[in-house]
Structure 1
């Protein structure tokens, strides 16, 4: 690895980690927020789902914007905006303002992630792109874990406001490093990318891509539902966990660092369809384990959820890009859009499910959303079932 390669990987890893640190920062402290703001379970869950909804709203905009403008001002604007939203969260005493600031953060997070991915795809040769994107994917995992640890473990849970300050400072520093350190591309690169872009509508009319998008939405629905309402499940009998004990459970998320490359190897050997079906099987078995009222059952279930989710996610996005000869940037933006809509919908729907039916209702709703990855796996395994793509 050359010095310039290492420098680029460091910038990508740091910036994406910082961006994802902001997304899930309130997840382990939802019961604390519920008590402090005298809000119900569904309302405090908006502190996570508002960010995800903001990402879903703006992701196509930033995907297109990165084809028209240089990446550097986009990243600097995004970093300052995300940090500003975090600082508002740290000082506000108004719950509505907290949710609005979280939505504002979500709006600008794609400026640090989606726009960066598009920039890398435009400027790097394929052999370098594969290596650098490995750092990108690892950073999403560690950033998601880091945000949860920051909110519920590194800072005392009752002092959650300091977690927002730390995340904001981290985001500002990494955005400035990226602004100064990312190589400048040429105007010709941007023009070529615009000419090779496939319209969003054309991509959405392809059933072989659309089923992959629904697969992404269904898998994150399950994952976000389980991990968002885990603190409520574990803070009550028969577990009675403290916030710090609950936060430790999020360490199972680390398995995602290894499952991406492993799922890719499994897909190469057994095919995308079989890999999706295997990942869906792990999701179903693990959801069943989460109904068992014991710590070993919960730990085993969470590990299985992570294995199943990251297997499905890696297999789906790999299959998507193998189906494309052009328009990769917009196709991946659509994938991410469906992905986050699934996460937002999962958190929202499962909040009402928990409120009216408890933890078992959350699990049963999640089981229903195994249908998209399962059906997609069957289609990928038996493509002759589809006689013509839409």
Structure 2
């Protein structure tokens, strides 16, 4: 049987030893994988962030503070961060495709369940469970891409996946805000959960089986501990993980508390208007794809540094009192963040030596711990000193991220 035919029929758990069968641009399998991973990013982030425009509503309905209302998001991202580490180990035995499928369907069903939560504490429990379930997607998706996509087109494909996450984040926020305005928040979450379930089923139907993945039956703690420690000893990778923590922390902080600022006087935006502001995620979709393509052509670290500087500039722009200036700042921030994230997540696959799923899990662990911890910490700054303190907090994180990128670039070049 010719190798190309054998590659098509090879299952996820039975690749040909010593051979790589990459999905190359222009083939049907490449297009299906790209669309499937786009759907996984869309579903994951629409389900994860659909509560963000509802934070002011939760604060009023359940009589909790802004920082407490942010727990509906921070608990999900925090538990997701923990689950990501476990997901890398589980996927080594269960398989990349299987784990992602189970996670997407489970998260969609839990979002539907959130719509029926009778009290604040049960809502938080469901959201925490949702974070645990969603942990089976982000790191495993990055590992799948690193293992299955032709390295020559890896940056563009990673950009498309991150674009799917941007589109999902936008859709979850915008649609939830609009539905909550006209139907209240419970039907809004029910509809978002149903959309996420449809995207999950589309993912299952489209994603090709892994062809370069080698299943490791059973669970060997020593193997996984050695894999994680190996990546932490890689000179450049810990700084990439630091970028994930700091950049995501700054991004989520701005998005968490901008809503509280804009629904209050003198702006007084309603839920529909607040939700529509999140259409700026469209700029993130474009920035992810463009960033990946530019990284392949002119250098990944150069684009990463530019993206971080752009993120900081956007954060600073939100200090102005003018609503158009605030929206422009959010646009610039979103563009810079998704460009940076697209490049940084791609660098993990390039810099890691073996066990790429473990390397991806450490990146996503830092990413979501930053979202959870820094996103909630921003509420303290907002309550004590207002919006200016929030911006200073995010600029400090982004300055540290920029320094981390410079150090990672230096160490990667020295090692090469």
TM-score (norm: length of structure 2): 0.83
Q: Which residue matches 2:191?
A: 166
Q: Which residue matches 2:65?
A: 40
Q: Which residue matches 2:384?
A: 356
Cα offsets for 1:130-170 (capped at 9, x unmatched): 66544422211111111101210244266111122122223
DSSP 3-state at the match of 1:360: helix
Q: Which residue matches 1:100?
A: 125
Q: Does 1:286 align with 2:314?
A: yes
Cα deviation, residue 84, structure 1: 3.2
Q: Does 1:199 align with 2:227?
A: yes
Number of residue pairs matched?
Answer: 387
Query: Which residue, out of 272, 275, 279, partners 1:251?
Result: 279
Residues 65 and 258 of structure 1, relative CA distance in 2, 3 Å threshold: same
Unmatched runs of 5 consecutive residues or more in structure 2: 1-25
Cα offsets for 1:105-149 (capped at 9, x unmatched): 111112234334434544555467666544422211111111101
- Contact residue 303 and residue 340 of structure 2 kept, 8 A: yes
Cα deviation, residue 380, structure 1: 4.4
Residues 185 and 324 of structure 1, relative CA distance in 2, 3 Å threshold: closer
Q: Which residue matches 2:368?
A: 340
DSSP 3-state at the match of 1:240: coil
- Contact residue 123 and residue 189 of structure 1 kept, 8 A: no
Residues 362 and 157 of structure 1, relative CA distance in 2, 3 Å threshold: farther
Q: Does 1:60 align with 2:78?
A: no
The 1-side partners of 2:196 and 2:298 are apart by 40
| CA RMSD, 1 decimal | 3.0
Residues 124 and 102 of structure 1, relative CA distance in 2, 3 Å threshold: same
Residues 387 and 98 of structure 1, relative CA distance in 2, 3 Å threshold: same
Q: Does 1:217 align with 2:245?
A: yes
DSSP 3-state at the match of 1:151: helix
Residues 248 and 186 of structure 1, relative CA distance in 2, 3 Å threshold: closer
The 1-side partners of 2:83 and 2:107 are apart by 13
Deviates more, 1:50-59 or 1:85-94: 85-94
- Contact residue 72 and residue 178 of structure 1 kept, 8 A: no
Q: Which residue matches 1:78?
A: 103
Q: Which residue matches 1:208?
A: 236
The 1-side partners of 2:346 and 2:181 are apart by 39
- Contact residue 18 and residue 167 of structure 1 kept, 8 A: no
Q: Does 1:316 align with 2:341?
A: no
Deviates more, 1:375-384 or 1:200-209: 375-384
Unmatched runs of 5 consecutive residues or more in structure 1: none
Q: Does 1:145 align with 2:170?
A: yes
The 2-side partners of 1:381 and 1:316 are apart by 11
- Contact residue 84 and residue 138 of structure 2 kept, 8 A: no
Residues 214 and 45 of structure 1, relative CA distance in 2, 3 Å threshold: same
The 1-side partners of 2:68 and 2:228 are apart by 33
DSSP 3-state at the match of 1:361: helix
Residues 133 and 326 of structure 1, relative CA distance in 2, 3 Å threshold: same
Cα deviation, residue 344, structure 1: 0.9
Query: Which residue, out of 12, 20, 24, partners 2:45?
Result: 20
